Amino acid sequence: MKIVKQIILPVLAVIVLTACGDKQQAASSDEAVATQTFKWKMVTSWPKNFPGLGLAPEKFAQYVSEMSNGRLQVQVFGAGELVPGFEVFDAVSQGTVQMGHSGPYYWKGKIPASPIFGAMPFGMTATELNAWLHYGGGLELWQQLYKPFGIIPLAGGNSGAQFAGWFKKEINTIDDLKGLKMRIPGIGGEVLQRAGGVPINLPGGEIFSALQSGAIDGTEWVGPYNDLAFGFYQAAEYYYSSVWHEPGTALEFLINEKAFNELPKDLQKIVTVAARAVNEDTLDEYNARNNNAMKQLIEKHNVQIKELPAPVLAELKRFSDEVIAEQVAADEGFAKVWASYSAFLADIRDYHNKTLKPYFENR
């Protein structure tokens, strides 16, 4: 028995000491993770601190800093400060920066299906699009498409229903669009081209000067809140409210996948939760600010808001259907995403036709 004790006691002592060492090592490791700090850069496609669009990334950076107790700091750069507005995707993909904030339709040349996650002519509203992204499989499809580029996309705000835009001449028939040079991105631009117009893609900061100089004959941007801030009423006489090309425009956070994977789990969660909060907050802001801005345009700047004639909208809808059908036939990725999008839209449209449509008419 004495021999057994002499053998067992030292073994037990080694086990206890080893266990204590493992616990101390684990505690030390956890403590190191908890105190590790990260500094990220985020580039955007918008002017620094621009209302709505430009404030969304600033709010994200603030939320992340506060929730992480300063462990993750995100420095935001406006368009052109580090990279041009249309080079945000490449900067994030290449790891030049860890994050970006932009609009999905700007990457149509790289990923034909990307505009579906932003806005589709005569497609989903903001609330419908958010429902599809977060509960209808849209976000998973979005992340699949961006994965080959080393990017994780997250919904990063929504500007709601966008006005048809500003024009230097009245639009009375579809023929008035022929030869018209207009700043309009995404599928909407292809529809304009089908109608005989000339779509031009410009970052926000370049639109006013192009409109004022006559380089373009018209522009869509967002709606009263942002259009007032850019002063478009000084460069074009006719403002059309008719929603058709962007019924609910989603913005996006672009996250470099390698940088995201280097974060501890709690900071990863903070990033995704902050993005979700900004996504809703931005839509709330636009819904709150657009009406007051519209009143200012009308009452202070004597802007007359017009509506596109029904035959013009009918033709734009027909052209939209043609363009989408061709995209479905030409690109497998587009076809896959559109199948999910259009099926969800059909279901939610039927529900809203039975609920919100009659409610708005009766209200």
Full set of structural domains in the chain with CATH: 36-158+249-288 (3.40.190.170)
pLDDT band, residue 26 (cuts 50/70/90) = very low
pLDDT for 267 beyond 70: yes
Task: Compute the distance between CA of residue 87 and CA of residue 14 in angstroms, rounded to an integer.
Answer: 59
pLDDT at residue 307, rounded to an integer: 98
Structure confidence by residue, pLDDT tens digits, 39-70: 999 999 999 999 999 999 999 999 999 999 99
Cα-atom radius of gyration of the chain, to the nearest Å? Answer: 25
Task: Compute the distance between CA of residue 303 and CA of residue 260 in angstroms, rounded to an integer.
Answer: 46
Cβ-contact 314, 122 below 8 angstroms: no
| Closest among 290, 278, 286 to 42, alpha carbons compared | 278
Give the tokens for residue 96. Answer: 């030049």
pLDDT for 38 beyond 50: yes
Q: Give 17: exposed, middle or buried? Use CB within 10 Å, 0-12, 13-18, 19+.
A: exposed
pLDDT at residue 22, rounded to an integer: 57
pLDDT for 302 beyond 80: yes
Give the residue with greater pLDDT, 205 vs 145: 145
- ∠ CA 243-249-250, rounded to 5°: 170
User: What mean pLDDT is predicted for residues 80-101?
Assistant: 97
Task: Compute the distance between CA of residue 232 and CA of residue 163 in angstroms, rounded to an integer.
Answer: 13
> What's the N-to-C CA distance of the chain in angstroms?
92
| Closest among 184, 125, 163, 127 to 291, alpha carbons compared | 163
pLDDT at residue 24, rounded to an integer: 56
DSSP state, residue 105: G
Rounded to 5 degrees, φ, ψ at 182 are -135, 135
Structure confidence by residue, pLDDT tens digits, 312-352: 999 999 999 999 999 999 999 999 999 999 999 999 999 99
pLDDT band, residue 12 (cuts 50/70/90) = very low
pLDDT for 16 beyond 80: no
pLDDT at residue 21, rounded to an integer: 57
DSSP state, residue 137: S
pLDDT band, residue 33 (cuts 50/70/90) = low
pLDDT band, residue 35 (cuts 50/70/90) = confident
136 in helix, strand or coil? coil
Cβ-contact 27, 202 below 8 angstroms: no
